């Protein structure tokens, strides 16, 4: 596959396995919510959502096959967003 | 002399008209840059959610308990499965399995439609109980619940709009495949369609637990 064709077709099984993991993690989030752990619920939900989002990014969206440029772009967006979050909470917590 | 010079200079210009401008890497980078703006658009709303969750914890938990978490769970499963069929469509196209790609796109459209129907029923149920922004019922409730439902309708509404747009793009991709404008050796349009659909899925992955499961 030459460098300027962008197709990264994985075996279908890879996508099915990714989907299976996503469904299992959804069940896990739901189960944790049913346990009613109060403060842990939101934290657990965000952590599991982050794992699920990463699975979609790396497997469905093929980021694991992309050149480093894409990781640098994600880093730039991540840092920008972290700055937004940081500034917002510094503002609210200092009131 | 001048005539032949004119021909010589005209020749490459004419040839340049037929240069293949297909640039999948450039197209994909452009798509990602657009997706980043989407991430920051929803990201700002998630920050608003976080700030108000901290401020109105009790009211947010109460609002969350009022949502039907089983319908939320159903829609999560539906959207995750639609992402699977979308990934199938791109992989099938890359392998030259055009019919399979069209079938997978049709399945993705079906799941997208199921998601929207479930979402519409949820909203309709809330509306029938007088729960919508600025309704009399809503204005009688605590401010924290008004904020919760304001964010709920704004964020799930913007997300549903993205599902509708995604479905329109999928229809256009299917049409381009049928007209052989998207082919196995040049299917970046379909790949970018997939990227959009998967991003909409990722946004729902965060929306679902934050709205439905914090009660």
pLDDT of residue B19: 73
State the nearest Cα–Cα gap between B139 and chain A, in angstroms. 26
The whole domain housing B196 covers 25-212
- A9-29 pLDDT, tens digit each: 899 999 999 999 999 999 999
| A92 interaction partners in chain B (CB closer than 8 Å) | 51, 54
Q: Which chain A residue has the Cα nearest residue B36?
A: A77
Is residue A17 domain-shared with residue A56, that is, in the same domain? yes
| A19 interaction partners in chain B (CB closer than 8 Å) | 80-81, 83-84
Q: Could you tell me the CA-to-CA distances from A18 to A11, A54, A59, A60, A81 in Å, in that order? A: 12, 11, 7, 8, 27
State the nearest Cα–Cα gap between B136 and chain A, in angstroms. 30
Task: Provide the pLDDT confidence category of residue B1 given band limits of 50, 70 and 90.
Answer: very low
The whole domain housing A71 covers 67-95
Cβ neighbours of B175 (radius 10 Å) = 11
> Is residue B130 over pLDDT 80?
yes
Is residue A51 domain-shared with residue A88, that is, in the same domain? no
**Mean per-residue pLDDT over chain B, rounded:** 92
- Domain for residue B93, yes or no? yes
Interfacial A residues in 37-56 facing B (CB < 8 Å): 41-42, 45-46, 48-49, 52-53, 56
**Total domains present in chain B:** 1
Task: Provide the pLDDT confidence category of residue B34 given band limits of 50, 70 and 90.
Answer: very high
Q: Could you tell me the CA-to-CA distances from A93 to A52, A71, A87, A89, B110 in Å, in that order? A: 30, 32, 10, 6, 45
pLDDT of residue A2: 39
Measured between CB atoms, does A33 come within 8 Å of chain B?
Answer: yes
What is the C-alpha end-to-end distance of chain B, expressed in Å? 85
Is residue A13 domain-shared with residue A40, that is, in the same domain? yes
Task: Provide the pLDDT confidence category of residue A92 given band limits of 50, 70 and 90.
Answer: confident
Is residue A33 domain-shared with residue A79, that is, in the same domain? no
- B149-189 pLDDT, tens digit each: 999 999 999 999 999 999 999 999 999 999 999 999 999 99
Residue B68 sits in a domain whose CATH number is 1.20.120.80
Is residue A45 domain-shared with residue A88, that is, in the same domain? no
- Domain for residue B164, yes or no? yes
Q: Which chain B residue has the Cα nearest residue A85?
A: B47
- Domain for residue B74, yes or no? yes
> Is residue B215 over pLDDT 90?
no
**Total domains present in chain A:** 2
Task: Provide the pLDDT confidence category of residue A70 given band limits of 50, 70 and 90.
Answer: very high
- Domain for residue B181, yes or no? yes
Q: Could you tell me the CA-to-CA distances from B83 to B68, B71, B141, B150 in Å, in that order? A: 23, 18, 38, 28
From CA B192, how far away is CA B198, in angstroms rounded?
10
- Domain for residue B18, yes or no? no
ipTM over 0.90: yes
| CB-closest option in B24, B81, B83 to A6 | B24
Task: Provide the pLDDT confidence category of residue B6 given band limits of 50, 70 and 90.
Answer: very low
Question: Stretch B89-116: mean pLDDT, rounded?
Answer: 97
- Domain for residue B175, yes or no? yes
Measured between CB atoms, does A57 come within 8 Å of chain B?
Answer: yes
Q: Which helix (H) or strand (E) holds B49?
A: helix B24-55
Task: Provide the pLDDT confidence category of residue A95 given band limits of 50, 70 and 90.
Answer: confident
From CA B194, how far away is CA B89, in angstroms rounded?
8
pLDDT of residue A53: 97
Is residue A9 domain-shared with residue A35, that is, in the same domain? yes
The residue of A23, A49, A84 whose CB has the most chain B CBs within 10 angstroms, and thus the best one to mutate to test that interface, is A49
Question: Stretch B139-147: mean pLDDT, rounded?
Answer: 95
- Domain for residue B7, yes or no? no
């Amino acid at each position: 596959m030459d460098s300027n064709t962008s197709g990264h077709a994985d075996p279908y099984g890879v996508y099915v396995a990714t989907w299976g993991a996503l469904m299992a993690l959804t069940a896990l989030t739901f189960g944790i919510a049913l346990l009613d752990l109060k403060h842990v619920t939101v934290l657990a939900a965000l952590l599991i959502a982050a794992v699920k989002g990463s699975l979609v990014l790396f497997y469905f969206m093929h980021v694991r096959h992309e050149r480093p440029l894409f990781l640098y772009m994600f880093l730039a967006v991540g840092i920008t967003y972290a700055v937004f979050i940081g500034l917002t909470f510094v503002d609210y917590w200092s009131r | 002399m001048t005539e032949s010079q004119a021909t010589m200079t005209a020749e490459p210009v004419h040839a340049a008209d037929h240069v293949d401008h297909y640039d999948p890497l450039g197209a994909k980078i452009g798509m990602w840059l657009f997706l980043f703006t989407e991430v920051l658009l929803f990201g700002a709303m998630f920050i608003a959610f976080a700030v108000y969750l901290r401020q109105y914890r009790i009211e947010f938990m109460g609002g969350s308990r009022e949502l039907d978490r089983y319908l939320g769970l159903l829609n999560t499963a539906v959207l995750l499965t639609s992402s699977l069929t979308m990934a199938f469509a791109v992989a099938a196209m890359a392998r030259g399995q055009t019919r399979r790609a069209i079938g997978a796109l049709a399945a993705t459209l079906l799941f997208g439609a199921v998601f929207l129907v479930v979402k519409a029923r949820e909203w309709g149920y809330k509306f029938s109980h007088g729960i919508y922004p600025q309704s009399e019922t809503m204005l009688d409730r605590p401010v924290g619940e008004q904020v919760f439902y304001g964010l709920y309708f704004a964020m799930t509404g913007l997300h549903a709009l993205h599902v509708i747009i995604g479905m329109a793009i999928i229809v256009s991709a299917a049409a381009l495949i049928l007209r052989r404008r998207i082919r196995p050796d040049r299917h970046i349009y379909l790949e970018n369609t997939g990227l959009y659909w998967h991003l909409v899925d990722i946004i729902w992955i965060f929306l679902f637990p934050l709205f439905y499961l914090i009660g």
